[in-house]
Chain A
Amino acid sequence: MSAIFDYLTQEPVWFYVRLVLFLVGTLAFVGANAAYLVWVERKGAGRFQRRPGPDEAGPWGLLQPPADGIKLMAKQVMTPPGADALLFRLAPALVLMPPMMCLAVIPFGDKLLACDLNIGLLLVFAFGSINVMALMLGGWASRNKYAIISAARVVSQNVAYEIPMLLVVITLLMITGTMNLNEIIHQQAGGFWQWNIVRGIWDFQAGHIGGNILVPVTFLIFYTCMLAETNRAPFDMAEAESELVAGAFTEYAGMGFGVFFMAEYANIVVGCALATLLFLGGWQSPIGTVPAEWGWWGTLLGTGFFFAKMYFLIFCVVWIRWTFPRTQFYNLLNLSWKILIPVSLVTLLLTAGLLKLPNLF
């Protein structure tokens, strides 16, 4: 037994074992998370519109997600005539793959991450960019007018919002100086005044002005772009059910449709996790630091903090969806090209200047 354990904990083998364990865990997490975020979404929608939401299946409607799952799996999976069958079937898998890859580098706790990659932030954006391609392939392969219009919209929207998102992330990168996500969180230890959203304005530890006094604006831009990149209301141009039936997903039935939704929620989790760890200190405690001698219990507590912050941001996503009506498509593009990109360019210049400022005195 101990020989097996020794073999398994050898560095390269342990790496693969950990990777496989984490991938299985990620699959389970993505599935369960999507199922229950649908419940949160429907319950939230109900509450915002002064109705109870799902409450028949189980206590507080908690058994609604399994019922939905069974319903989706029982439906016939069909490919419309004239569709590109291969790409049509491939698109849901391609949509789900990138967010799951991204989850591999996101540190949920101090030691709770699959792959401590030096350029984890870059990996998240690299795989995030595949999402557009997958949605577009799904829309195109459907051979349906609504789906193709939606696919064209997805591209313009995602290209427009990827620019300000990358720009604001670069401003943050200039402050942190690293793309290792766990290291970025380590830098924010000490309390909520050390989180990047406060530290950018005034660095309490060093006692001088922070790198980016507009960091709350940066956070807002990041959050807005995240909403647009994950195709969430008020920017859900890909689906737009009142004008395009169901957009790129019009022709999908059963679990093919379900997988698109799973991917949407997985993308929201990745986006909110990124917002949490870039701006809100990740698994750091809001007051003081978790003592190192608490060991795994400390890590678990940190994971609790991470999930609390992340799910608060996810709740805000639901909140925004049921509060704001869908924007017009031209307004959506104008918002990005005429407001978000100039503002994020200004913050970029400002950060570059402010980072040099303490050196001058």
Chain B
Amino acid sequence: MNLTPLLAVAAPSANPASNWITLGLFIMFVATTVAGALIAVNTVRIIRSVSGLALACVGLAGLFYFLHSPFLALMEILIYIGAVCVTIIFGVMLAEPDEPAPETHKRPYPVIAPLVAVVIAAGIFGGLAKLALGHKWEAPVAKINDGSVAAIGTSLLSTYSMAFELISLVLLVAILGALVIARGGRTKE
């Protein structure tokens, strides 16, 4: 297998040894992402699926780092592991303090359901693969900006101000919804 093009993408450096180290790290991050995703969907224990999700997020953060966006990489860890996964586990703890017994429920459509699932999965895979192979990938831009606080602030309040405001609106609605639910739940007997 010829790794040279991949090597050039992953590690554009003159030094061969450091190229191989970088390539190794790149493969490790890809493997982490895939392994995490597989754990997340294949295990029956929900707490392990969340751990798998967290692992996939670590791998994704590494891939973001390779795409020259350390800011995004750290945000991935801060938000998706530090907030989202923790919230999910907290929800699991409140909802289901005991491990459920392995279920033995009857499958209503033993033939049709797996077939439909396979067709949908194959379709998505085929579409993505066609897109990935057919697209003319441009050489990665070395650095879009310096990633400083000033640059992030400027782009948040100019180029991406619309998305920024929309997100704040969504969060406001979420807070209001939480308040409504919490109010309703607090009645004294």
Give A162 to B93 CA distance when docked, in angstroms: 21
The total of chain A residues at the interface (CB under 8 A) is: 37
Instruction: For the complex formed, measure the closest distance between the CB of B54 and the CB atoms of chain A, giving whole angstroms.
Output: 7
Instruction: For the complex formed, measure the closest distance between the CB of B25 and the CB atoms of chain A, giving whole angstroms.
Output: 10
Given contacts A129-B78, A130-B81, is CB(A152)–CB(B93) below 8 Å?
yes
Specify which chain A residues have a CB less than 8 angstroms from the CB of B74 in the assembled complex.
119, 122-123, 126
User: Is B93 touching A87 in the complex (CB atoms < 8 A)?
Assistant: no
Contact among A87, A117, A155, A178 for B51, CB-based, below 8 A = A87
| Chain B CB within 8 A of A16 CB | yes
| Chain B CB within 8 A of A179 CB | yes
Map CB proximity to B onto A38-55 as digits: 1 under 8 Å, 0 otherwise. Answer: 000000000000000000
| Chain A CB within 8 A of B38 CB | no
Query: CB-nearest residue of chain A relative to B18?
Result: A12
User: Is A84 touching B54 in the complex (CB atoms < 8 A)?
Assistant: no
User: Is A87 touching B147 in the complex (CB atoms < 8 A)?
Assistant: no
Give A152 to B95 CA distance when docked, in angstroms: 12
| Chain A CB within 8 A of B21 CB | yes
Query: CB-nearest residue of chain A relative to B17?
Result: A13
In chain B, residues 12-31, which have Cβ atoms closer than 8 Å to a Cβ of chain A? 13, 15, 17-18, 21
Instruction: For the complex formed, measure the closest distance between the CB of A343 and the CB atoms of chain B, giving whole angstroms.
Output: 20
User: Is B86 touching A133 in the complex (CB atoms < 8 A)?
Assistant: yes
Instruction: For the complex formed, measure the closest distance between the CB of B169 and the CB atoms of chain A, giving whole angstroms.
Output: 20
Query: CB-nearest residue of chain B relative to A123?
Result: B74
| Chain A CB within 8 A of B67 CB | no
Interface positions of A (Cβ within 8 A of B): 10, 12-13, 15-16, 84, 86-87, 117-119, 122-123, 125-130, 132-133, 136-137, 140-141, 143, 148, 151-152, 155, 158-159, 162, 173, 177-179
Given contacts A119-B70, A140-B47, A179-B149, is CB(A133)–CB(B54) below 8 Å?
yes
Given contacts A84-B48, A119-B71, A122-B71, is CB(A140)–CB(B93) below 8 Å?
yes
Map CB proximity to A onto B91-113 as digits: 1 under 8 Å, 0 otherwise. Answer: 00110010100000000000000
| Chain A CB within 8 A of B82 CB | yes
User: Is B93 touching A148 in the complex (CB atoms < 8 A)?
Assistant: yes
Instruction: For the complex formed, measure the closest distance between the CB of B167 and the CB atoms of chain A, giving whole angstroms.
Output: 17
Specify which chain A residues have a CB less than 8 angstroms from the CB of B15 in the assembled complex.
10, 12-13
Given contacts A122-B74, A159-B86, is CB(A173)–CB(B149) below 8 Å?
yes
User: Is A118 touching B86 in the complex (CB atoms < 8 A)?
Assistant: no
